[in-house]
Copies of this chain bind each other. A is one copy, B any other.
Amino acid sequence: MLRSHTCGELRISDVGKTVKLAGWVQRSRDKGSVLWIDLRDRYGLTQLIFEEGKTEASLFEQARATGREFVIQIEGVVAERLSKNDKIPTGEIEIKATKLTVLNTAKLPPFTIEDETDGGDDLRMKYRYLDLRRNPVREKLQLRHKMAQQTRAYLDAQQFIEVETPVLIKSTPEGARDFVVPSRMHNGEFYALPQSPQTFKQLLMVSGFDRYYQIVKCFRDEDLRADRQPEFTQIDCEMAFIEQEDILNTFEGLIRHLFKSVKGIDLPTVQRMQYADAMKFYGNDKPDTRFDMRFVELKGEGIDLTSGKNFVVFDNAELVVGVNASGCSDFTRKQLDELTEFVKRPQIGARGLVYVQCKTDGTFKSSADKFFSSDDLKKWAETFNAKPGDLLLILAGESNATRKQLSELRLHVGEQLGLRDKSKFSALWVLDFPLLEWDEENKRYHAMHHPFTSPKTEDIHLLESDPGKVRANAYDMVLNGTEIGGGSIRIHDKPTQQMMFTHLGFSEAEAKKQFGFLMEAFEFGAPPHGGIAFGFDRLCSLFGGSDSIRDFIAFPKNNAGRDVMIDTPSTISEEQLKELGIKI
């Protein structure tokens, strides 16, 4: 080894030892007669000292000549520091250097290798290997490693078997776009990269593997938005001979194990919510449950406290609904205007906002004072269960759109009030998703989860008459308002699967061509089974308290799907194209 110790290892108890260290020059401080160098490696920082008179002159000069990010090897003796640094574990000692070897020089990096850097996004991506030297970035990837370790530890202990499924598979027209790989041996034919190992994990259940998992790369050729990567990683799981309750318990166990082992947090029992309730009370299928602020309806099913007062906006609305921003009655005019501006943004799309200030003196002040009496407002306040000091924020319009708008407002206000603290965690199961969703463009139903999801037995009779009402045995896990995983109990018999394909508008021939092998497999004794997949990149970013998944990927691609460091995608040779039998 080129070192006897790492740069994070030496302590006061090591004083007097002769050691050999190697690492990068983080910085040096030259006080004329004394020179200090901070030597860095993955494990920490150690201070080196060179002193005029005590250090050999040539060594002193050599030390002075080492620049930032030089890779050096140092020999010396561990000594107690005069002025200690209690911020780092090695802060009580320094190395009196006796020999310095430059292992490699370094050009000046294009940005500073410090916790807070001066490098912009583009520059840091181009020199990602330098960005990865910075502690906060490296720590994010170390967190990811620990997450993977603990995921495996939990699932291994539960007798899950990790099985690798193929990457070169078959293109299917369902779902997102596939990346495809032209075959050289079979010109004109293509492999596809998997969007998920869905069919393979179901086949493993047919094979009797009973409990399968894999931490696996998946691929989607979609137009990229911020923080969506063409390749991403899933924790992919499937179980046989189980019911939905078993899946919920097993994977609630996983998430609680991760919180405990990685962050030392005892996550409370994961709450459960019907999809219908999530939409009704939070306007969102992934409510942020770090704070409550549930929707309260003033005009809706079975209630109308707003009509007949000549307030046209409410009179014309299908739904009048709001949230109680508790303790916010003293919001200034400016703050209230900002909220109105917020909901009127084109991406939110509300026409306006009605507020009611429940003053601490028991009176009410509202932007709709002209139309509603104090008594009216009092009734509203009672419906909201509001106390003096609260602030009601009310939207009106078409039900679905209004709920969506109010959901955005709720999150916005939650953010303003500091209720969305990244160091607080609240997990939630959203249950009983609809089986199908209407695709207006193609005038047909799509599987909301995927075509292998089973309908709830008690809803099957609605498949003909009211398909949109059929609920599925499908569930999502939501953490702090972000979907981190989703799954379902699968169909495991051929007749049901065929019925589903029919409802999804597949002809028998199409269904056979795309999923024939799976349907055939179901005829040879498929057990009841179900599973779930977690978005690993996102899960890591939430654990790391970050909004960006990119930070948790060693070599991410940019929004144009490009890796600017290695410069890909790029052109290939004519010879390659010819061998593949394709033309641009």
Residues of A within 8 A of B (CB): 1-3, 22-24, 40-43, 69-71, 103-107, 109, 127-130, 132-133, 138, 141-142, 144-145, 148-149, 152, 156, 161-171, 173, 177-193, 199-200, 203-204, 206-210, 217, 219, 221, 223-224, 230-231, 233, 241-243, 246, 492-493, 517, 521-528, 553-555, 557, 560-563, 565-573, 576, 579-584
- Is B184 touching A571 in the complex (CB atoms < 8 A)? no
- Is B167 touching A167 in the complex (CB atoms < 8 A)? yes
Given known A-B contacts A3-B241, A162-B148, A210 and B525 have beta carbons under 8 A apart: no
- Is B70 touching A569 in the complex (CB atoms < 8 A)? no
- Is A41 touching B208 in the complex (CB atoms < 8 A)? yes
- Is B164 touching A554 in the complex (CB atoms < 8 A)? yes
- Is A166 touching B69 in the complex (CB atoms < 8 A)? no
- Is B162 touching A145 in the complex (CB atoms < 8 A)? yes
- Is A563 touching B166 in the complex (CB atoms < 8 A)? yes
Q: What does DSSP make chain A's interface, helix, strand, loop or mixed? A: loop
Could you say which of B186, B208, B219, B557 contacts A138, with CB atoms under 8 Å apart? B208
The minimal Cβ–Cβ distance linking A224 to chain B, given in whole angstroms, is 8
Could you say which of B23, B104, B170, B524 contacts A570, with CB atoms under 8 Å apart? B170
The residues of B that contact A207 with a CB separation of less than 8 Å are: 129-130, 132-133, 138
Q: What are 5 of the A-B contact pairs (CB < 8 Å)?
A: A24-B525, A103-B527, A164-B554, A171-B576, A190-B572
Q: A144-B164, A178-B576 are in contact. List 19 more A-B contacts (CB 8 A).
A: A42-B208, A71-B525, A104-B522, A106-B524, A132-B209, A133-B207, A138-B208, A138-B209, A167-B231, A173-B573, A177-B184, A180-B576, A180-B580, A181-B181, A189-B568, A189-B569, A190-B571, A517-B567, A582-B583
- Is B138 touching A569 in the complex (CB atoms < 8 A)? no
| Chain B: CB-nearest residue to A203 | B129
| Chain B: CB-nearest residue to A218 | B167
User: How far apart sit A511 and B203, CA to CA, in the bound complex (Å)?
Assistant: 46
Most chain B CB inside 10 Å of its own CB: which residue of A165, A166, A584: A166
The residues of B that contact A109 with a CB separation of less than 8 Å are: 524
The residues of B that contact A203 with a CB separation of less than 8 Å are: 128-129, 132, 555
User: How far apart sit A418 and B361, CA to CA, in the bound complex (Å)?
Assistant: 98
- Is A164 touching B568 in the complex (CB atoms < 8 A)? no
User: How far apart sit A224 and B183, CA to CA, in the bound complex (Å)?
Assistant: 13
The residues of B that contact A527 with a CB separation of less than 8 Å are: 22, 24, 71, 103-104
Q: What are the nearest 5 A-B pairs in CB distance?
A: A106-B525, A132-B207, A189-B569, A170-B568, A183-B569
